[in-house]
Structure 1
């Protein structure tokens, strides 16, 4: 289905230049568009288990996400993104902040796998999949 295809990364840039004070401000934010699914770390070997790819123990009630393999990098190593915070916006405008603590080998690029507590902040678990936008913060 076409709705399941993640949109490309959106890049925003803000620049300001004050000539009199010779000040310059520049801000660049990468906003990613993809899909959110959810997983339950408490289910042991079925969905990854209590140890995430980043190392720290995880549970269904932790505000954590698993980053897609394309952005995570080498799946045999701890990613440079481990421990980074992300701000996720769901299709209805609801937001959630979480920490990258795991990898999602089956997720498409720009997509995230969320613990149930994070997913519920954006929508109902019954939907299973949500269109999201997210960024590192």
Structure 2
């Protein structure tokens, strides 16, 4: 049996709201399915609400709305937040990523999240609608 988790893209107004939306999609009200990119990848590995034996699909509805909300401006905001906590050896590369986001270039949070979800496609699939 295939389980479909619906991400309502119109509800995604920023990164914090994305974590809430995907958590609820997978694990119900106040559900958890990651609160950062690494945790999202870990959750896709199983045991955090995804079925262990069944196939699953993430259906991201109105993904274009989410792409706007998780675009370069939100990516720059996120990078500013984590830059001070980054390991000193990672700060120069992260600073370059921040400069790129501020200039409207480079991968966005939406791009990174889609990549993580798509990489989990060996267990499930991602449908953007």
TM-score class, shorter-chain normalisation, is under 0.3
User: What TM-score, normalized to structure 2?
Assistant: 0.23
Q: Which has the larger share of strand? A: 1
Q: Which has the larger share of helix? A: 2
